[in-house]
Amino acid sequence: MKIEKKIPTSQPYLKGNELKYVSSCVKNNWISSQGEFISQFENKFAKYCGCKYGVAVSNGTVALHLALVALGLGRGDEVIVPDLTFVATINAVIYTGATPVLVDVDYKTWNINAELLQGAITKRTKVIIPVHLYGLPCKMDEIMKMAKQHHLFVIEDCAEAHGAKYKGKMVGSFSDISCFSFFGNKIMTTGEGGMCLTNNEDLYKKMHILRDHGKTPGKQYLHEVVGFNYRMTNMQAAVGLAQLEKIDRFLKERDKIAKVYERFLSKNPQIFFQAPRPGVRNVTWLFTILVPKSHRNKLIDFLSKKNIDARPMFIPLHQMPPYTKYISPASKFNDSNKLSEEGLSLPTFIGLKANDIKRVADVINEYFNKI
Ligand SMILES: *Cc1c(COP(=O)(O)O)cnc(C)c1O
């Protein structure tokens, strides 16, 4: 039997100015966290997202932590997070000593269920963290309205949704602070990296200080708060800047990948997709489908035997040992449980050819024809 070449779930595309910009860091000795690329990347990425200020950091997880600390979160406060997300969202809350409160997602959009969110607000609630999961924006108008009514902060977790729009406005521009990840498998990457965006000058200044050991600006070795070393290096920012130059093309090509998958798979009555809503410009992070739960793991194995790398959807947070203590007795997680048993992500990256997508779809259709 002929073994065809392996198709990974994800890989970065670095064929623009990445090498040129990184080489200039090396040639000029600016390889640490000072240098021209940092502020250029911060300014250009903030502008791209329709925000005033950007603070580049070492990864998306610390972006969330920095945002929470800047908003003054700590013990006794509650933070609402969706049950279905990558663990970084809840871990950042736990680092601050605050208590995460898990809310189920909606089966159609895979995003936090706005009605249940309303019911989870208590006197202790300080922050809501909506996550634009798999590139589909949350209902930001409802969430922001709720936050205003109850005097809550909102932090958007945009790690999977660079460039997405909700009702004509970029995700990341709705909330007090928004957090992005530039990990290697995200829509644009700096290897490891992240950024906090805000329109609030005070929060910007706070995050700037906290990112750099709490150092008072303009004074050497004077630290008036306990800060962190969450800085991004100039080399990472150099890669980020080169990636940002290509973001429109990235988004278009990822949309095209999704369309081709849909064309090949939509005739299959066993397969379902994330349901975009009117007025929303979703982006394709990892193209993810739902199949009957009895087939999900078998299908991943079948794909793997044909040298195609597919991933199961996230495991709901409430199911994992470190987080079971945050489940309130009344909460139910029907939708996140179902999605997590049915979802799988298919190879999605720039450079994936229509032929490769056809090969993946053929294997999936072959699986369902056999059973
Ligand atoms: C990737 C991701 C993060 C964390 O980003 P890192 O850069 O890996 O720390 C946070 N939230 C979500 C939803 C993510 O997908």
Phi, psi of 41 (to 5 degrees): -65, -45
By alpha-carbon position, which residue is closest to atom 2 of ligand 1? Answer: 159
The pLDDT of residue 2 is: 67
85 lines ligand 1 (CB under 6 A): yes
Q: Is the pLDDT of residue 32 over 90?
A: yes
* Of the listed ranges 49-63, 157-171, 270-284, the one predicted with least confidence: 270-284
The pLDDT of residue 330 is: 84
Ligand 1 atom with the shortest distance to the CA of 61:
9
Confidence of residue 4 (pLDDT cuts 50, 70, 90): confident
The encoded tokens of residue 344 equal 């799988």
Query: Number of helices (H) and strands (E), helices first, in the chain?
Result: 12, 14
Confidence of residue 36 (pLDDT cuts 50, 70, 90): very high
81 lines ligand 1 (CB under 6 A): no
Distance 61 CA to ligand 1 centre (A): 6
Mean pLDDT computed over 304-316? 98
- Strand ranges (E), 238-355: 272-273, 280-281, 288-290, 311-312, 343-345
100: helix, strand or coil: strand
Q: Whole-angstrom Cα distance, residue 18 to residue 37?
A: 12
183 lines ligand 1 (CB under 6 A): yes
The encoded tokens of residue 167 equal 């009702």
- Strand ranges (E), the chain: 53-57, 78-82, 99-103, 125-128, 153-157, 165-166, 169-170, 177-181, 194-198, 272-273, 280-281, 288-290, 311-312, 343-345
State the residue for tokens 């066993």.
Answer: 270
Q: Is the pLDDT of residue 5 over 80?
A: yes
Q: Is the pLDDT of residue 317 over 80?
A: yes
Q: Report the candidate in 59, 58, 56, 38 with the shortest Cα–Cα distance to residue 238.
A: 38
Contact assessment for residue 76 and residue 95, using Cβ atoms and an 8 Å cutoff: no
Q: What type of residue sits at position 272?
A: F
Distance 60 CA to ligand 1 centre (A): 5
Q: Whole-angstrom Cα distance, residue 208 to residue 289?
A: 39
Mean pLDDT computed over 13-30? 97
Distance 88 CA to ligand 1 centre (A): 6
Distance 267 CA to ligand 1 centre (A): 33
Q: Report the candidate in 89, 82, 141 with the shortest Cα–Cα distance to residue 109.
A: 82
Strand-pairing partners, residue 82, are 103
Considering the chain, what is the average pLDDT of its residues? Answer: 96
Q: Is the pLDDT of residue 348 over 80?
A: yes
181 lines ligand 1 (CB under 6 A): yes
Looking at the chain, how many residues does it have? 371
Q: Which helix (H) or strand (E) holds 67?
A: helix 60-70
Q: Is the pLDDT of residue 1 over 70?
A: no
Ligand 1 atom with the shortest distance to the CA of 85:
13
Ligand 1 atom with the shortest distance to the CA of 62:
9
Contact assessment for residue 300 and residue 9, using Cβ atoms and an 8 Å cutoff: no
Contact assessment for residue 55 and residue 196, using Cβ atoms and an 8 Å cutoff: yes
Distance 221 CA to ligand 1 centre (A): 32
How many other CB atoms are there within 10 angstroms of residue 353's CB atom? 11
Q: Whole-angstrom Cα distance, residue 147 to residue 114?
A: 11
Q: Is the pLDDT of residue 3 over 80?
A: no
Contact assessment for residue 175 and residue 155, using Cβ atoms and an 8 Å cutoff: yes
Q: Whole-angstrom Cα distance, residue 28 to residue 19?
A: 14
By alpha-carbon position, which residue is closest to atom 5 of ligand 1? Answer: 60
Q: What type of residue sits at position 132?
A: H
253 lines ligand 1 (CB under 6 A): no
Q: Report the candidate in 50, 202, 151 with the shortest Cα–Cα distance to residue 210.
A: 202
- Strand ranges (E), 277-371: 280-281, 288-290, 311-312, 343-345
323 lines ligand 1 (CB under 6 A): no
The encoded tokens of residue 80 equal 């609402």
Distance 182 CA to ligand 1 centre (A): 8
Q: Whole-angstrom Cα distance, residue 320 to residue 269?
A: 32
Angle between helices 201-211 and 60-70 (to 10 degrees): 120
State the residue for tokens 């779809």.
Answer: 361
Q: Is the pLDDT of residue 331 over 80?
A: yes
Ligand 1 atom with the shortest distance to the CA of 182:
7
How many other CB atoms are there within 10 angstroms of residue 354's CB atom? 12
The pLDDT of residue 278 is: 82
Mean pLDDT computed over 164-171? 97
The pLDDT of residue 277 is: 80
Q: Which of 183, 192, 228, 230 to mutate to test the pocket of ligand 1 (most atoms within 8 A of CB)?
A: 183
156 lines ligand 1 (CB under 6 A): no
86 lines ligand 1 (CB under 6 A): yes
Ligand 1 atom with the shortest distance to the CA of 64:
10
R_g of the chain computed on alpha carbons: 21
The pLDDT of residue 329 is: 84
82 lines ligand 1 (CB under 6 A): no
Ligand 1 atom with the shortest distance to the CA of 88:
10
